[in-house]
Amino acid sequence: MSLFELSVMTRKGERFPLSQLEGKVLLIVNTATGCGFTPQYEALEKLYETYHDQGLEVLDFPCNQFGHQAPGEDEEIHSFCTGIYKTQFDQFRKIDVNGENADPLFTELKAQAPADEAVQGFKNKAAMAAITKISTTCKEPGDIRWNFTKFLVDRSGRVVRRLAPIADPMELEEDIRCLL
């Protein structure tokens, strides 16, 4: 299935068909404002600023399923991101990414890319093992393990990479350039 067949909810509660983004490269991320990985917003914004005019869209989906690190309403979260990190990319309604209430977009993302790429280095492997252990919603194979899991989607709506929360979004820069 192409992701462009799905729709999502904007932070203002309107249905947004992803078909409006067909032909673009997408970087889709589940985020949280109170997470140790929240500073990744800087790299996400850098990628957006650098490649948006060439066809990159960053889609930000706040998620409160991991340590309740995305508290607040959608507009509060948006104000935090635009105020602190100066984000300009689209931020959508807060969602669930795992479990019976998982948003269909993330269900499809997980189906297309059922595992994070292997993390390198003992420190990173240990961090991911700890994250997996404390993640109470990561119960099924393919589930998202924590905030800031990153999915890179090509122009036809297929996932080409899934990066672990601990991975720097800039690791995707070369792939983004190739897809554009």
Active site (catalytic) residues: 35
Contact status, residue 112 vs residue 5, Cβ threshold 8 Å: no
Burial grade of 82 (CB within 10 A; 0-12, 13-18, 19 or more): middle
Give just the sign of the alpha carbon dihedral 23, 51, 71, 130.
Answer: positive
Q: Which residues contact 65 (CB under 8 A, 6 or more apart)?
A: 96, 97, 98, 99, 137, 144
Separation CA 163–CA 117 (nearest Å)? 6
The dihedral of CA 113, 115, 121, 125: what is its sign?
positive
Report how far residue 86's alpha carbon sits from residue 102's, in angstroms, rounded to the nearest whole number: 28
